[in-house]
Amino acid sequence: ILNVEQSPQSLHVQEGDSTNFTCSFPSSNFYALHWYRWETAKSPEALFVMTLNGDEKKKGRISATLNTKEGYSYLYIKGSQPEDSATYLCASPNAGGTSYGKLTFGQGTILTVHP
Amino acid sequence: DGGITQSPKYLFRKEGQNVTLSCEQNLNHDAMYWYRQDPGQGLRLIYYSQIVNDFQKGDIAEGYSVSREKKESFPLTVTSAQKNPTAFYLCASSMGQLVSGNTIYFGEGSWLTVV
């Protein structure tokens, strides 16, 4: 089983603060790194999928970077808003003997943004 | 609208009973997945299917069974052999290979409680 880990487990910030969290994954046999946002009572939704070392992706105030050589990705949120409160999941696929691959998820980082 | 529909949203089961969770997608995706979430843990893969009439065990398949008779449907049966079935279950699907950077899409989940 692939080992994907996220830190911190939870985070409380004030509205307007910028924040970041980490996802670490095995650097060998790397295919891709996914970030998802999971708001309460909703389905998890994809934020980014990154495949290349040095990739940087941005969506509004949220951005992510990828370092496949050392096995980590950072997710940044600039100027956090209460609507950013959610669980942020990262995941990495491994082939696992299949052509499609299987996603292994980290435990998630629970972000709470206080007004 | 295209999406993944899971039902029921809440289900109570008596010990010793089998129950089936429904998952239907109209995204025309080839692959479908079942994940389980427990407090403090990441999503763990139960079963997945890449094509109709074919499916593979995930990391925690014991006590579960699935079928894939139609492309759009991937029901999960939680059998009486599952020792600790109380959990939140998420169904997901993907169009292409996760190892190639394709993302997965999730349903809204089903809560199963054993009483």
Q: List pLDDT tens digits, range B13-33.
A: 888 899 999 999 999 999 999
The chain-wide mean pLDDT, for chain A, equals 92
Closest in A42, A94, A106 to B108, CB measured: A42
pLDDT at residue B101 in the model: 83
The alpha-carbon gap from B42 to the nearest alpha carbon of chain A, in Å, equals 4
The whole-number average pLDDT for the span A42-71 is 95
Per-residue confidence band for A101, with pLDDT thresholds at 50, 70 and 90:
confident
**What integer is the mean pLDDT of B8-17?**
91
Residue B98 to residue B108: CA distance in whole angstroms: 21
Whether pLDDT at A99 is above 70: no
Are the Cβ atoms of B98 and A104 closer than 8 angstroms?
A: no
How close A86 comes to chain B (CA, Å)? Answer: 15
Whole-angstrom Cα distance, residue B75 to residue A19? Answer: 39
Residue B68's contacts (CB-CB under 8 Å, 6 or more residues apart) are B32, B49, B51, B52, B53, B54, B55, B74
Q: What is the average per-residue pLDDT within A24-49?
A: 92
Alpha carbons B45 and B63: distance in angstroms, whole number: 13
**pLDDT above 90 for A66:** yes
Nearest one of B48, B51, B46 to B62, comparing CA atoms:
B46
pLDDT per residue as tens digits for the range B104-113: 999 999 999 9
| pLDDT recorded at residue A95 | 54
**Contact yes or no for B107/A43 (Cβ under 8 A):** yes
Confidence of residue B1 (pLDDT cuts 50, 70, 90): low
Q: Do A98 and B100 touch (CB under 8 A)?
A: no
Confidence category of residue A27, pLDDT binned at 50, 70, 90: confident
Residues of B in contact with A101 (CB under 8 A): 97-99
CA–CA distance, A26 with A17 (Å, rounded to integer): 30
The radius of gyration computed from the CA coordinates of chain B, to the nearest angstrom, equals 13
Tell whether the model's pLDDT for residue A1 goes beyond 70.
Answer: no
A71 in contact with chain B, both atoms CB, cutoff 8 A: no
How confident is residue A43, by pLDDT bands cut at 50, 70 and 90?
very high
pLDDT band for position A41 (50/70/90)?
confident
Q: Which is more confident, A98 or B71?
A: B71
Task: Name the one residue in this structure whose structure tokens are 């899409």.
Answer: B105
Report the distance separating Cα B39 and Cα B16, nearest Å: 23
pLDDT of residue B62: 95
